[in-house]
């Protein structure tokens, strides 16, 4: 399992910041938990969170881009599970490239909490459910908020 070397997930002081959370509806057991943990991370950090749900993972980037123009940080959440066709690779590459481009073009941090897993079990193990080894919704939100704070300091 990945995750070796990641920093401890602890809340940052982000009072006054806003974060948009965009989540796909596919694999609701996973994405609902990712959203709950992202909202918890925002709350623990004092940031105001707005949640927007989209049909699938491919719809995430366009909504993230719109929110990146109005929020201090944005978080993308979803679960893409490998199937029997190349579709998995197209979705993962498109979403990752799109989120990176949006973050750079809009100069707004985008936390990438889109899980790209070989199996549903792997996604569950990264979702922050009880017994999970990772908590990607929480971690992605903290990363986006921490980066927003850093950018604010650099711009001031």
**80 labelled binding-site residue:** yes
**57 labelled binding-site residue:** yes
DSSP line for 37-92: HHHHHHHHHT-EEEEEEESSGGGHHHHHHHHHTTSSEEEEEEEEE--SSTHHHHHH
**59 labelled binding-site residue:** yes
Active-site positions read 87
* 64 backbone dihedrals φ, ψ, rounded to 5°: -60, -40
147 three-state secondary structure: helix
Residue 21, CB half-sphere, CA atoms under 13 Å: how many? Answer: 32
Would you put residue 128 in left (φ > 0), alpha (ψ -120 to 50) or beta? left
Q: Where is the binding site for (2S)-2-hydroxy-3-oxobutyl phosphate, in residues?
A: 84-85, 126
Q: Where is the binding site, in residues?
A: 26, 57-59, 79-81, 84-85, 112, 126
Q: Where is the binding site for 5-amino-6-(D-ribitylamino)uracil, in residues?
A: 26, 57-59, 79-81, 112
């Amino acid at each position: 399992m990945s995750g070796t070397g990641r920093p401890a997930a602890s809340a940052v002081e982000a009072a006054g910041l806003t974060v948009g959370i965009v989540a796909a509806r596919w694999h609701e057991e996973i994405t609902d938990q990712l959203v709950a943990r992202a909202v918890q991370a925002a709350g623990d950090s004092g940031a105001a969170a707005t949640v927007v749900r989209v049909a699938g993972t491919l719809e995430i980037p366009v909504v993230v881009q719109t929110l990146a123009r109005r929020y201090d940080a944005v978080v993308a959440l979803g679960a893409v599970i490998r199937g029997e066709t190349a579709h998995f690779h197209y979705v993962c590459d498109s979403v990752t490239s799109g989120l990176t481009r949006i973050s750079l073009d809009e100069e707004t941090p985008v936390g990438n909490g889109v899980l790209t897993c070989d199996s549903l079990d792997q996604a569950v193990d990264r979702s922050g459910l009880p017994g999970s080894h990772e908590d990607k919704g929480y971690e992605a939100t903290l990363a986006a908020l921490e980066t927003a704070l850093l950018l604010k300091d650099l711009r001031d």
